[in-house]
Amino acid sequence: MADVESLVSSAATVYARKYGKEPQWFAAAPGRVNLIGEHTDYNDGFVFPMAIERYTVIVAGPAEAETDAEFYSMYKNKSAFVQVDGSAKPPLHVAWFSYIQGTVQNVFEAGLTIPPFRAVVVSDVPLGGGLSSSASLEVAVATLLESAAGKKLDPVEKALLCQKAEHLYAKMPCGIMDQFISAMGEKGFAMLLDCRSKVPKMIPMDSPNVSVLIINSNVKHTLTGSEYPDRRRQCEKAAALMGVPMLRDADLELLQAKKEVFDKEIDGDICFRRARHVITENARTLAMAEALTEKEWKHCGELMYESHASMKDDFEITCPEVDILVDVTSKQKGVFGSRMTGGGFGGCTVSLVDTDKINDVIESVSQRYERQTGILPTAFATQAARGAYCPKE
């Protein structure tokens, strides 16, 4: 794991080599792990993420006589040119730089004057692993533009315009969790976010005895690519069948009382189970925030296992490899709880682990997971990290 300073310095070296000058503007935005509260954000529910010690970093400087901006990605080893004059339109086909173009456009529309510039982007957030590499890119771009324009956005507006970039330019109808935590995370705190009021409550997550362990299953199944929008639609339908604005407004009693209404629908059983996941997950998220505040680790762990089971059986967003990973992890000494984190169909698990046991857990889980799946996982422990900032200011 590289720290922000070394990411900045490697990007600055590439910048100086390419453009013959030192960069002037710097931005860093973290990935995130969601402790609990999955697929609840777009139902106006509760989520409980924290920023992780993995960042997307951008260094940049002004460019003369140009109306667009060049972004050079160290990962892709290539450049993309994006419009900075407000003339961009959502693309027909999504490319890696669509997130950047969308964010630049939305920052422009929010009233910031963006000078022509060149930038170098580097990241150590694993791509496509459910740790919000795309939100960290969007938020890093918006943070960079604040520096370049010499004006700060309101943090909530900033998160929302990054989300809108993802909707319109990357065609992913995501909720607000990832951009919120990347923009507003705080070192040593997890964020309990009420996605309806959009008011975050910071909960201390700094106990030295318990570590957050992230294990990447190193699989990603996108069956048709429409899994996420499908879940959104099923949730909306379930809310409509119960006569409530959003699933946030339903409880298990109402769901049970409306069972017959669901039974009349061809996808009634699916919608019923989607709703049951969201309703119970909201309750688990609030309970976990309380248990974590009281440092009741065992209870936190139980809630995480329940969340995983609900994602597996009711929301149907896990996959065999991730189920194996959680199962294997749950059998290790020193593990309080474990679950898949993020959008689903692969990616990472998050576990709460006794800090003294962390190395043993990583070793033993890696061996067992590899034996059962033939895939080598990657693992790292992280503290709750700082949200987006400008490293040199």
Give the span between the Cα atoms of 38 and 169, in whole angstroms.
23
Of the candidates 41, 44, 68, 178, the residue annotated as catalytic is: 178
User: What tokens does 278 get?
Assistant: 């969201």
Contacts of 264-272 spanning 24+ positions with Cβ under 8 A: 265/237, 265/241, 267/234, 267/237, 268/241, 270/234, 271/234, 271/235, 271/237, 271/238, 271/241, 272/238
For ligand GLA, give the closer residue by CB, 178 or 314.
178
The 3-state DSSP composition of the chain as helix, strand, coil percent (nearest 5) reads 45, 25, 35
Residue 178 falls in the annotated catalytic set: yes
Q: Judged by CB under 6 A, which of 177, 255, 288, 353 binds ligand GLA?
A: 177
For ligand GLA, give the closer residue by CB, 2 or 283.
283
Give the span between the Cα atoms of 20 and 335, in whole angstroms.
51
Q: How far is the CB of 362 from ligand GLA (least distance, A)?
A: 24
Taking CB under 6 A as the binding criterion, the range among 100-108, 119-127, 170-178, 197-205 that sits at the site for ligand GLA is 170-178
Q: How far is the CB of 307 from ligand GLA (least distance, A)?
A: 11
281 forms part of the interface with ligand GLA (CB under 6 A): no
For ligand GLA, give the closer residue by CB, 72 or 228.
228
Q: How far is the CB of 98 from ligand GLA (least distance, A)?
A: 15
314 forms part of the interface with ligand GLA (CB under 6 A): no
> What track of x and - describes contact with ligand GLA for positions 121 through 150 (by CB under 6 A)?
------------------------------
186 forms part of the interface with ligand GLA (CB under 6 A): no
For ligand GLA, give the closer residue by CB, 268 or 343.
343
38 forms part of the interface with ligand GLA (CB under 6 A): yes
119 forms part of the interface with ligand GLA (CB under 6 A): no
Closest to 19 measured CA to CA, from 149, 140, 119, 121? 119
For ligand GLA, give the closer residue by CB, 161 or 177.
177
Distances (CA, A) of 349 to 3, 92, 275, 377: 22, 33, 23, 11
39 forms part of the interface with ligand GLA (CB under 6 A): yes
Handedness of CA 218, 135, 166, 350 (dihedral sign): positive
For ligand GLA, give the closer residue by CB, 175 or 387.
175
Q: Which residue has the tokens 């580097």?
A: 122
Contact 282, 248 (CB under 8 A): yes
Contact 134, 170 (CB under 8 A): yes
Q: Judged by CB under 6 A, which of 41, 44, 306, 321 binds ligand GLA?
A: 41
What part of residues 318-347 is at the interface with ligand GLA (CB under 6 A)? 342-343
- Tell me the site size for ligand GLA, rule CB under 6 A: 11
Taking CB under 6 A as the binding criterion, the range among 2-10, 75-83, 119-127, 171-179 that sits at the site for ligand GLA is 171-179
Q: Judged by CB under 6 A, which of 120, 174, 203, 358 binds ligand GLA?
A: 174
Secondary structure (3-state) at 393: coil
370: Cα within 13 Å, side-chain hemisphere: 10
178 forms part of the interface with ligand GLA (CB under 6 A): yes
41, with CB counted inside 10 A (0-12, 13-18, 19+), is buried
Q: Which residues bind ligand GLA (CB under 6 A)?
A: 34, 38-39, 41-42, 174-175, 177-178, 342-343
Query: So which residues are the catalytic ones?
Result: 178
